[in-house]
Structure 1
Amino acid sequence: MADYTYQTRRKMTEDWVAHVKEKAGHLSKNEKQLLPGAAYHSVAQAPQDWMRGLFDSGKYQKLSDLYRGELPGLVKACVPEKLTEEFYYALDQMNQFQMTAGWYRRSVRSDSYRPFVYQSVQLLWAYARLEFYGGSLADILTGRIDPEQYDHARTERWSYAEMLAAQIDRKEEATIQAVKDILLGEGNTLMISHKLIRGIVMSKNTELYEILGKFLLAARLQEGARQAVCETMDAGRPEAFLHLFGVIEENNLVRYSSVKRAVSTWIGIFDEKSAERITEKLVRLMGQCLRDDGFCREQLASNDSIAISCGLWAKGFYDAQQAVTEVLELIRHGTKNQKMTASYFNRSLQFGYLKQKAAKEAILSWPDDLELAACFLPSFMDNTYRCFTQLLEEKDGRSYLQLCDGKVRKPDNLPVTEIFENEKEARKVYILFRDMLSRIPKKGIDLNPCIFPWYRVTMTQSDIALRMCLIAWMLQDEAYLDEAARLIPIVGQGNTYGAARAAAARVLLYRPQTPARREVLFELLHNPEEYTMQSAYRLAEDMELAVGDYLIIEKNLKYKKGRAGVLALLRKQEPAALRESVGRLLETDSEECRMGALDLALQIKKEGPQEFAAVRPLLETLTGPTGREQVILGELLGTKSEAQDILNTPGFGLYDTTKEWLLPPVEVDEKQSVKLFAGGEDACIQILERLNSLIEEKNELEYKTAWGVEMLLGTKLDNCRWIHGDPEAEPLDALPFRELWEDFYRKEIKTEEMLLELYLYQKCRAQRNDYERNLELYRKVFGSGLLKKPPFKKLVQGLRYGAQAGTVIDTLFTQYVPAGLKARWGLKGTAKLLAVLEASNAFYECEEKRWNGEKECFTKRAAELPIFKEMRWWLSLADEGDWGSAFTLRFKLQEFYDKLRGKEVLRRYDRVRAGYLTLADYVDCYVKGIWDKDLFYKAVFTFLSLKSLIGPASTVEQKGAVSSRDARIGELNAFFGQGVILPVDGKYHFDQIGDEVPAMKLAHEIYQEAVPLILKVELKRGGAGDPILRIRIIDSGDLWHRCDDSDSDCAWERDITAQFRLLFKYNRAESRFKPSAQGVPAKAGGDGRRLEKSPEGNGYHKEAAGGAGHVCAAVDSSFGGIFESAGIPERLLLFYGPHRGTAG
């Protein structure tokens, strides 16, 4: 039933939500919050907490009482009147079911209804969906409703299991018969779903238990269906589970992998990778624990971890609270192994109020045992990070926290009673954690294995510190807050993702009132973790900073991390104070601090020439500047700015910006577009329906997917083999039953033209809403005569096997339709589209509801509509004779939309939409002699960016054998075209490519022209400004400098901005040196020889082993002067030349 699309289902969902809200009328605040919304499968947290609070207070004991007493209007709006009592019955049965979910669930139950609040709302919405569909549950299960509604019910999440169980219990014969028909009917495995099985095991109907047990044993059953039963059978009543568990025991079904995985999930003492350890012996042990309470107690008294786990699982199977009582008993009186085994069970309970009770008992009872604390800590305050983010989130439910650069918000308070009995207990735990932190090794506690061979437990200083931070915030004790703030740098240590550190900083360091916390905040401005550093900047930016604060902030400039933020904060000072900062920084011994001062001076010069006049004397006092400082000082104190002159020159001096475009003529008759769809939509519909009928006839054909899953054709049509990388394979080889589809093509479709038309018909069906909204444009492009009909008017929906049919058509299209035919259609259709496109029809408006219910309005391009999008893509397949026409059509389409950029509205997180030509297309236009260098550069700067050129152009300057990593294959393909540059024996040899690749000469020319220009600007920019290009190679004659964006402790780093690094990195084939006129010893990795100024003064040479050196680079070559002016001799350089076997 996947023939319907995401858009059609989304529209039906929105209609349903609107229907419920229309019926609702006047509701209370809490009732309104529980109405279904845009994210209809997600229930708002606030009303759930309110409902749980009503149970905690003792006001209600049953869910039905709560809904009757507090939510009567909501029930009336969602539940059909005749099913109201059935709904209340279903609510009150929930505490008979398992209360956990997911792979790490355990089969546990509870008398309380508190754990079922979420499920109760899902059930309410399920009844609302039933009322919207307008049929009975039996009708929906058997497909006797509108096909589109049937598709929606089966595809969009619908939690009807409890409803099904209630109807079975209440003797709804039609529903019971529908379930029997599905289980016992032939070819009905498609209808088996987790929700259906859940409904059966949640009911009291022993006859259906029997049928489900037989279904489980059926020889014809696929492994997937067997897995569905086993994964779900623990979700309902104990009686249902015991019956099906007995079937597994009696027939040794544990030999099947799906049963092993299910047993592993129920008992939880094996993970997915070790499910093979599940044996018949273990299954019988589990069964006996369930049926014999005395035997179960014997297992709990043993010191065998598996036996203890089985005993705790059996107790929790009937009552989770009883299982926790047993865990507490083991904590107080058990052996260490019993305690640790109990921690394993406790961790999997999923409900914090249960597992935290036992974990807190263990930590308070045995504070000196770090290993035991490590076992129980994951169950105690395990949602600390979530607590921090909740304290920071807006309460409107329409926004989410952005730790990296989101706005600063005052954190909420959190009462100690949320976690602890009282303030005294909270302080006691804080002090215990402080003691643990002092005793825990820096590398933490790592128990591997722990209890079981597959289980590992770790406890780090970060785990303790994070919890201490939250307790300190709860207590609001200034001394504790100061102490906890100093622990923030510890939080998240050892983790690649440091959001917890940033969250703790945003809470504890919000407008800090004490010097200790202010000092911690300013230290975090250079924290290596990005989120923390950005959060510290936002927090400091939000503060009223004093003179003393700026003095502390200045010190951060000696670090590379966070410089941009520190400089931005310092620039907030008054002019006089800023001048003093510059003066202080210039007097320090740190080159990075002095560079910071120069960066500030650059900004002052740019924004306030008058203020710069007062700063200039300070700059003139700087003595003995380094190479880097000389470059920036020259820019600051010089009368002319070479870098600024380049930036002010149109086209940066690379090309003539006034030159008009020169395009190949379009040799296409646009009037031919009306003849394209000659087959007609009736033929498309007839073929599609026949293909659907063929698949229905063959729906029980079995095959094995490419990943080894047994599948029926009627269930899904998927790949039966991978053909990627096999040059002999054809598209149809990927599908099962190739002969069937080939025969259908020959007998029914017959021609390539008809197949192409059918393919486009499918595209329009898939995007029906967009297509039908723009019929007028389709009429203008493809219509003829007075009526000007669009290509298609009847887009059939509801084909039972539409998804499989779509897969067949797509594969046949790839197999049989040649590139030339696609290109011809693309030329004719796009030419006519360009002829009728204008500002009024270039875009069409769209609206989407976001996850939080907000409506987002944006535009889509008409050129991206079905048919137009495909035809535009087919232009890239044009042969040499039509290349010019195809290029010009794409260019004009791109130019058309580029001129309308101001009218295009993007979605919030969309980037600017790409053009319709690639860099490789522009390269081709130049190589073919149509464009000169001016037009080539103009196209790149107009539609792309200089960065897109510099990457590939500098990549191919690498000499010798270059690895795939250093070759940057994506950049090569973007410039030269897909697969034009290929490796030899796994390596790329760019220096061996000649005239056989004409574009290579262009790449070298771009490098020689553009890179010197970039260096003249960027080496004088300083540490402020926008991110700039990354140049892979800087070449001065035979002297090569390899630039990489990877970190290395033996690299020279030039921090142009916080996001730009130019790195010169050492490797085996290359020695790195610090050249000077006198020569200095080579650094690590070198051989101790010197790089010396050549006697001729035209470069540097390396002293050879026998004393003879040879020239490596000429200063007056293309980059020599730049290196000299930029102070490069003061930096570490890489040496690479043709003589690396001897002296280099």
Structure 2
Amino acid sequence: QGTDIGAADPETADFIKSDTFARKLHMIQFDDILAARIDRGDAAVIDAVREALLSDNNTVLVTVPLIRGIVKSRNTELHDLLAKFLLAARLQEGVRQAVCENADCGRAEAFLTILKTIEDNDLLRFSAVKRAIATWTGICSVDAMDRVSAKLLAGIGQAVRDRERALEMTRTDDSVQIVTGLWAIGFYEAQDAIKRMLEIAENGSQNQRLAISYYNHYMQFSEYSEQAARKILETYPEDLRMAAAFMPTYLDAVDTIVRSCIHDSKGKVVYSVDEDDLVFVPLPVTEIFEDADQARRHYQILKNLADSMKKRKMEFSPLIFPWYGVVLDKSGLTQRMAMIAYALQDQDLIDEICVRLTDIMDSYYNTRKNYLRVLLHDPQTKIQKDALIGYVAEKESFTRKAAWQILKKLPLTEEDYRQLEKQLRLKNEETRHYVIDLLEQQEKADVDESIKRLLGSGKEQLRLAGLDMLKRRSEEGEEAKSAAAALLREVLPDSGDLSDKEKVLYEEIASSEGAGSILNAEGYGLYDTSAEYTPDLTDIRKEIEKLADQYQKKSAAGFLAKITGIGPDAPQRLLQNYFRLSAAELDGYFDRIRAFVLDHGKLEYTTAAGEKQLLEDGLYATKYEYSDATETRYPFPELWEEVYETIIREPQVFFNLYFASIPGYDATTVLDMDAYIKADKTVFGAAGAGYHYTDPKFNSTRSMHTLYSTLLDIIASQQHLVLPQEVARAALLQAISLPEEIRWLKKAPSKYGSLYDKRYPHVCYLRSNKFRAMMSRASRYENEQEFRDVFPLLYQADRVYELEQHIPSMSYYASSNDILDIYPYVEACKLGMISRDFLYKAVFDMIGLKNAVADLGRLFKPVLVRTTLNCVRGFAPVDYEKHTIDQESGYYRLCDEVYRNLVNLILNVELKRGDTPT
């Protein structure tokens, strides 16, 4: 910033050789800056680049930005040096891949230098070089790299060195030659390749036209590739195969364009279906076509293609090459037609396309709700409004919701309401909820008429809807209940001809008993709501006190704290003395481990993926049998025993290093990092958040390299190292004592923030990776006594943090976010630690009924999955081979009792509630 790019700058040279450049640089412009300095003759920078290429540790310093800076420069000496560096790669396939794949990211002369090196030294024998050739040209997929042959390489060399030869290749009917020729032409100037493709589109053979579709696709430059795609569609409007071949490059940003037309009240693009205060931005037709006439022509071409398709999707595979295929589906055609209709604001076209939105296949990136919103947010014709009413019953949930949101804001006629009533023939609960909500927006007299029509219907689902509407009204008070009962008997004097399900609702409306009485009863008639449990942490604090004394530092401050009682309490004192290593001491241990690894760095092994690997390039698994001990899955176990015996030596040092290697939150997650780091150090000392071992080789941007964490995991398994449970429990007590603003840290702002981030703007201190590792030890118990000891602590942590209230579980499989789920509560009840009343109270007030029923229900399946067995193995005998639990155990019988009571309660309410949520 503000620096003369031509001035010699030793700091830039130092930067190139620094740890930061080697492992932290993500500035995408750096290669351009580097190339500019090289071309301006900056001697310090050129020397630094030369030193990086020639140094012993060059595999660390020669990064992708450095390679791209070299190939973008005009310095032929550095081009030659990079080529020699490529030749010297030996076993380092990653180096070869980095150089070759980026060879075409700069000047032509640099690329030709690398290409000649590959040709002259038979480097095609290496898979990284084959992969690079496939990457340059787009010819051959990663799965078909065996097709990258010497013949293909020779053709590439000829075409890229001789323009006439490249043009000659495009005149053949050989697909490989056509694509190679186009690539060679486009290598120098993409416009020239487009010009040649347009000529082929006009006059070429069918195979030539299909071949250019391949290059057009892999060019990945929509501004240019769109030209050829439009030309093909206009020239061959009825050819489905040709349309499929070029569709990936034709209006390919349709989803993004349509989504960008939907803003919230602040002018930001809307992604969520929950946002319904929307502003719709017009789409000028000239942004996607030359003029309105061209847009109409293309709309008609797309419509004709869609109408001619006998199936929703047509596959053409293989096409052009054995490894390549394309698909034409009505979804893509409909999306483009909808966008064109919206841009033109032609009501006839909108009428035509709005009834075809079900052809759009819904996915994460493309949802038909967006097309419904832009086309029908302000319906101008009866066709459009009828379509909108129909979409309330659409199978896809976001589309249903979007239609309901729009209809709520529209004036509806009696005919509209009668049409909505017909949708109640469907059983979908969400559709019924939306329709009933809309019907109840009418004046009361009109709502009564809707109810009468529904009750008088010959279809059960319609009658059930009428009963449900009356039930909702009957819950508004005694007067409303009497009026609802009178209206019910006016249409249906008795329930004799109704189904069993209808009779339940009928009797509830006509009498005073029903779901409402159950829901209004204290504790739902199941438990005493005054039941309490007060955790006693005395014993845990005593055990922590004992260990704190053992680790007490022999210092004046520590002695004074012990005899006067002035100073940190026992949990904090234990943590301070256990995590005693300073940052400098941690660095010292990691320096010695790093040196040890590099001393053995030339040892070679084969990874589980079958690749040859040097130890100095990383420590990776040699097999995938995760049930085996950790040390058996990695190479050189004897080395890691030596690391422990000669460097680490004691468990306390090990766990200081172990927690130092695990990242906490960082500035991309937490807003106030200073406060977070300060709090984290009260638990982990110098090993807390903010510590980062600087290693230019074995490292990554935000956390320590996996080499260290893997190595420490191996050692923990070999030495059977277990963190003292008192330390883990002291850490949890310390976390409980943190102030609210640290327990729930405000998230750092992000332009990529999701709806989830807006709804839950805080992260939990307990949920950092570092504290999760501590929590797994704090919450572990191996026998009944250990469970009795730790349950009060875990319960206290739950009540202080209230995770399920702050961040409800989003899992498809219902399970509480709290530390304690239903299983330990049942055990505590079995042991007499809590009463049955309190157990049920916990289900409703803490765990959540849905979570408790789901977890308990997993115990009553014929085969219990391993995760379920793991949850209950401390409470009842389990058989991992048969996947069963001892059904005679007291724990299982209590689970069965609680589960049956909860399910019966749910059924008693649900059978009487209709479609009204409870």
Common fold, TM-score beyond 0.5? yes
CA shift for structure 1 position 679: 6.5
**Equivalent pair of 1:461/1:491 in contact (CA under 8 Å):** yes
Normalising by structure 1, report the TM-score: 0.70
Q: Where does residue 733 of structure 1 map in the other structure? A: 632
CA shift for structure 1 position 368: 2.8
Whether 1:508 aligns to 2:409 is: no
CA deviation digits over 1:124-159, x for unaligned, max 9? xxxxxx9xxx9732111101xxx6x557x7254443
**Equivalent pair of 1:920/1:977 in contact (CA under 8 Å):** no
**Equivalent pair of 2:38/2:46 in contact (CA under 8 Å):** yes
CA shift for structure 1 position 635: 1.4
Q: Where does residue 89 of structure 1 map in the other structure? A: none
CA shift for structure 1 position 913: 8.8
Cα gap change, 1:506 to 1:982, in 2 (>3 Å): farther
Three-state SS of the structure 1 residue aligned to 2:315 is strand
Whether 1:346 aligns to 2:245 is: no
Cα gap change, 1:322 to 1:391, in 2 (>3 Å): same
Cα gap change, 1:645 to 1:938, in 2 (>3 Å): same
Q: Where does residue 841 of structure 2 map in the other structure? A: 938
Cα gap change, 1:970 to 1:526, in 2 (>3 Å): farther
Whether 1:370 aligns to 2:240 is: yes
Whether 1:281 aligns to 2:151 is: yes
CA shift for structure 1 position 1015: 0.9
Normalising by structure 2, report the TM-score: 0.86
Deviation larger for 737-746 or 1014-1023: 737-746
CA distance in 1, matches of 2:341, 2:123: 53
> Identity of counterpart residues, as a percentage?
30
Please state which structure has a larger fraction of its residues in helix. Answer: 2
Q: Where does residue 1008 of structure 1 map in the other structure? A: 900
Whether 1:798 aligns to 2:694 is: yes
Output aligned runs, 1:71-110, within 5 Å.
Answer: 79-83=1-5
Whether 1:604 aligns to 2:476 is: no
CA shift for structure 1 position 365: 1.5
CA shift for structure 1 position 947: 2.7
Q: Where does residue 142 of structure 1 map in the other structure? A: 17
Which of 698, 701, 710 does residue 602 from structure 2 map onto?
701
CA shift for structure 1 position 829: 5.2
Three-state SS of the structure 1 residue aligned to 2:529 is coil
CA deviation digits over 1:850-873, x for unaligned, max 9? 126999895566666898765554
Three-state SS of the structure 1 residue aligned to 2:327 is strand
Whether 1:297 aligns to 2:167 is: yes
CA shift for structure 1 position 170: 1.2
Q: Where does residue 894 of structure 1 map in the other structure? A: 798
Three-state SS of the structure 2 residue aligned to 1:269 is coil
CA shift for structure 1 position 612: 5.1
What residue identity is the alignment partner of 2:508?
E
What residue identity is the alignment partner of 2:910?
E
CA distance in 1, matches of 2:680, 2:204: 78
CA distance in 1, matches of 2:346, 2:676: 64
Q: Where does residue 484 of structure 1 map in the other structure? A: 353
Whether 1:473 aligns to 2:345 is: no
CA shift for structure 1 position 257: 1.2
Which of 423, 427, 442 does residue 573 from structure 1 map onto?
442
Q: Where does residue 1075 of structure 1 map in the other structure? A: none
Structure 2 unaligned spans of 5+? 553-573, 699-703
Three-state SS of the structure 2 residue aligned to 1:381 is coil
Q: Where does residue 237 of structure 1 map in the other structure? A: 107
CA distance in 1, matches of 2:683, 2:32: 53
Three-state SS of the structure 2 residue aligned to 1:667 is helix
CA deviation digits over 1:876-896, x for unaligned, max 9? 334544432222222233334
CA distance in 1, matches of 2:55, 2:3: 33
**Equivalent pair of 1:923/1:975 in contact (CA under 8 Å):** no
Deviation larger for 661-670 or 504-513: 661-670
Q: Where does residue 725 of structure 2 map in the other structure? A: 823
CA distance in 1, matches of 2:690, 2:449: 76
CA deviation digits over 1:1085-1126, x for unaligned, max 9? xxxxxxxxxxxxxxxxxxxxxxxxxxxxxxxxxxxxxxxxxx
Which of 620, 634, 645 does residue 507 from structure 2 map onto?
634
Whether 1:950 aligns to 2:837 is: no
CA shift for structure 1 position 761: 5.0
CA distance in 1, matches of 2:799, 2:314: 62
Whether 1:1023 aligns to 2:896 is: no
Three-state SS of the structure 2 residue aligned to 1:511 is coil
CA deviation digits over 1:173-222, x for unaligned, max 9? 11111112121211320122211111111111111111111222225351
CA shift for structure 1 position 283: 0.8
Cα gap change, 1:970 to 1:948, in 2 (>3 Å): farther
Q: Where does residue 70 of structure 1 map in the other structure? A: none
Which of 169, 172, 177 does residue 39 from structure 2 map onto?
169
Q: Where does residue 645 of structure 2 map in the other structure? A: 746
Q: Where does residue 773 of structure 1 map in the other structure? A: 675
What residue identity is the alignment partner of 1:732?
E
What residue identity is the alignment partner of 1:235?
C
Output aligned runs, 1:297-336, within 5 Å.
Answer: 297-336=167-206
Whether 1:671 aligns to 2:572 is: no
Q: Where does residue 593 of structure 1 map in the other structure? A: 462
**Equivalent pair of 1:778/1:790 in contact (CA under 8 Å):** no
Whether 1:658 aligns to 2:557 is: no
Whether 1:258 aligns to 2:133 is: no
CA shift for structure 1 position 609: 5.1
What residue identity is the alignment partner of 1:141?
I
CA shift for structure 1 position 989: 5.4
Three-state SS of the structure 1 residue aligned to 2:24 is helix
What residue identity is the alignment partner of 2:820?
L
What residue identity is the alignment partner of 1:893?
A
**Equivalent pair of 1:289/1:296 in contact (CA under 8 Å):** yes
**Equivalent pair of 2:804/2:818 in contact (CA under 8 Å):** no
CA distance in 1, matches of 2:171, 2:163: 13
CA shift for structure 1 position 276: 1.1
**Equivalent pair of 1:403/1:503 in contact (CA under 8 Å):** no
Cα gap change, 1:395 to 1:303, in 2 (>3 Å): farther
Alpha-carbon RMSD: 3.7
**Equivalent pair of 1:414/1:474 in contact (CA under 8 Å):** yes
Q: Where does residue 448 of structure 1 map in the other structure? A: 317
CA shift for structure 1 position 310: 1.4
Cα gap change, 1:896 to 1:321, in 2 (>3 Å): closer
Q: Where does residue 1100 of structure 1 map in the other structure? A: none
Whether 1:518 aligns to 2:385 is: yes
Whether 1:271 aligns to 2:144 is: no
Q: Where does residue 464 of structure 1 map in the other structure? A: 333
**Equivalent pair of 1:665/1:888 in contact (CA under 8 Å):** yes
CA distance in 2, matches of 1:679, 1:658: 42
Three-state SS of the structure 2 residue aligned to 1:209 is helix
CA distance in 2, matches of 1:793, 1:449: 53
**Equivalent pair of 1:194/1:232 in contact (CA under 8 Å):** yes
Cα gap change, 1:171 to 1:376, in 2 (>3 Å): same
**Equivalent pair of 2:217/2:248 in contact (CA under 8 Å):** yes
What residue identity is the alignment partner of 2:323?
W
CA shift for structure 1 position 513: 1.3
Q: Where does residue 52 of structure 1 map in the other structure? A: none
CA distance in 1, matches of 2:603, 2:635: 9
CA shift for structure 1 position 445: 3.2
Q: Where does residue 386 of structure 1 map in the other structure? A: 256
Output aligned runs, 1:743-892, within 5 Å.
Answer: 743-760=642-659, 762=661, 773=675, 797-800=693-696, 801=698, 803=705, 804-816=707-719, 818-819=721-722, 822-827=724-729, 830=732, 837=737, 843=743, 845-851=745-751, 872-880=775-783, 881-892=785-796
What residue identity is the alignment partner of 1:707?
A
**Equivalent pair of 2:821/2:852 in contact (CA under 8 Å):** no
CA distance in 2, matches of 1:186, 1:304: 46
CA distance in 2, matches of 1:1019, 1:907: 27
CA shift for structure 1 position 560: 2.6
Three-state SS of the structure 2 residue aligned to 1:446 is strand
Whether 1:554 aligns to 2:554 is: no
Structure 1 unaligned spans of 5+? 1-78, 87-129, 783-788, 1027-1144
Cα gap change, 1:941 to 1:170, in 2 (>3 Å): same
Three-state SS of the structure 2 residue aligned to 1:849 is coil
Q: Where does residue 557 of structure 2 map in the other structure? A: none
Q: Where does residue 542 of structure 1 map in the other structure? A: 409
What residue identity is the alignment partner of 1:886?
V
CA shift for structure 1 position 280: 0.5
Three-state SS of the structure 2 residue aligned to 1:681 is coil
Cα gap change, 1:908 to 1:594, in 2 (>3 Å): closer
Deviation larger for 154-163 or 556-565: 154-163
CA distance in 2, matches of 1:656, 1:606: 25
CA distance in 1, matches of 2:520, 2:720: 52
